[in-house]
Structure 1
């Protein structure tokens, strides 16, 4: 039920953090993994780690904010594998600043990288997935449902991902494509480590609010990704699943 043998999965931003954790989990379940990211050197490092699990793992240097680059990404996957079964839209950035201090260029950069790329990749993957069904997993955030004074653009992009997930789920259900979102809590990555230096008291606040009593790690995302990518979730679409140690259930 949870086997991904012979399935082909592309993970945007899959060369580090949550993306690499998900890529690792999918590879362990038998999927052939494609990492799509801008940093070629970082992708090669991730690929070396994945190759011990998936001999057919590959990395494609891609700017997921570029419509033509995304189209070419899907074409390369089709030429190599002839199919695309799983898309994980994980690529993302953040700029931590009060809304009044954000420039329009900074706002657009975050929205384009996080939200527009999710749309571009899903749209490009649709024709291949329509052939035999598929799974799209969009990576949201706690800020898909909560507000934060320091992340207006990031929160807007992640809230948009949640609504886009629901719209695509409804639109593509007749094509046997399930579209769901994962909402990570505070996961220990390079992105959040930077936040701990920028936001005084963040580490202590997270621990106090999280019933599990710890920050998450990228491998905490492996299980939910395998579930949503596998036949076990065939009747689940348009859902948003928190992976947050209880953060969203706590007051």
Structure 2
């Protein structure tokens, strides 16, 4: 057992991270593990998740990372996954609702099924997880971190379902923070800006000139770069740790100053 397992910021705590197979979720899992947490990943992508689990477990064999496969839009799958977590650990200390999907279409081309899919995964999935996991939080409390987006507070072209789902996640965050405060469960949100992830790369590939779009996007940031998954992971670690014990119901924007410039 290394020093972080004994005295890290999340030493001995059980952290469940949805969408943890890659990107921001994986970065959060790696950071939590480095601070002594027992990491549980939930994702629908079993192939990618298995490789992430293997690498995390190799890094810390004394506390193997657990993978729970579930589609967050399916209440039965969510319920079974939480039951599995209960059987393995008996509790949860930190829940990170990170899983999310996007859709880049104008309003006239969005089907009702596409709308439902985005809202079901991004918003209802978080609601279902909190609802089913609530009984596993100890009497000493815990933390919930919801990964929202700057799309929740600022308008961008062709992102209506995604923006609505992320705005709903902010409302869920505030109301959960109020309702769960007596149980000593803190609830906060993070709004990332442009982060270099698989979703961002997929978006670029569908643009006429990916290199030009990437350069233009970078130029929008006062700090001179786009974000990295590790930037969001550091924020998630802070909100999940005792260092944020007096913080609940807030929204931490991680966007390199992008939205400040939007208001300038």
Q: TM-score range by the shorter chain?
A: over 0.9
Residue ranges of structure 1 left out of the alignment (5+ in a row): none
1:47 to 44, 48, 53: 53
Question: Which segments of 5 or more consecutive residues in structure 2 lack a partner in the other structure?
Answer: 1-6
The match for 2:4 is none
Are the aligned partners of 2:91 and 2:138 in contact in 1 as well (CA < 8 Å)?
no
Task: Give the alignment's TM-score, normalised by structure 2.
Answer: 0.91
Query: C-alpha distance in 1, partners of 2:180/2:138?
Result: 9
Q: Which residue of 1 aligns with 2:3?
A: none
Cα offset, 1:243, TM superposition: 1.1
Query: Aligned-pair distance for 1:119?
Result: 0.5
> In angstroms, what is the RMSD of aligned CA positions?
1.5
In the other structure, the counterpart of 1:10 is: 16
Do the aligned partners of 1:132 and 1:176 also contact (CA within 8 Å) in 2? yes
Other-structure match for 2:171: 163
Question: Does 2:44 match 1:38?
Answer: yes
Classify the secondary structure of the residue corresponding to 1:245: coil
Higher relative contact order (CA 8 A, sep 6+): 1
1:212 Cα shift? Answer: 1.6
| Distance in structure 2 (CA, Å) of the matches to 1:111 and 1:199 | 25
1:120-170 Cα deviation digits (max 9, x unpaired): 111111111153311100000110111112111001101110111001001
What are the residue-to-residue correspondences of 1:221-240 with 2, within 5 Å? 221-240=232-251
CA distance in 2: counterparts of 1:54 and 1:202, whole angstroms: 39
Counterpart Cα distance in 2 of 1:52 and 1:246: 37
Residues 27 and 53 of structure 1 are in contact (CA less than 8 Å); yes or no, is this contact kept in structure 2? no
TM-superposed deviation, 1:64:
1.4
The aligned residue for residue 216 of structure 1 is 227
Q: Secondary structure at the match of 1:250?
A: helix
Which residue of the partner structure matches residue 85 of structure 1? 93
Q: For residue 159 of structure 2, what is the aligned residue in structure 1? A: 151
TM-score (norm 1): 0.95
Displaced runs of 4 or more, over 4 A: none
Matched-pair contact (CA < 8 Å) for 1:130–1:177 = no
Are the counterparts in 1 of residues 20 and 43 from structure 2 also a CA contact under 8 Å? Answer: yes
Q: 1:163-194 CA distances to partner (integer Å, 9 max, x unpaired)? A: 11001001100100000001111001110111
Aligned partner of residue 130 in structure 2, secondary structure: helix
Return closer, same or farther for 1:62/1:237 CA change in 2, 3 Å cut-off: same
SS at match of 2:143: strand
Q: Which has the larger radius of gyration?
A: 2
2:203 maps to 1:192: no
1:205 shift after superposition: 3.2
Pair 1:217–1:202, CA change in 2 (3 A): same
Q: CA deviation at 1:199?
A: 4.1
Q: Distance in 2 between matches of 1:10 and 1:127?
A: 14
Q: Distance between the aligned counterparts of 2:99 and 2:185, measured in 1? A: 21
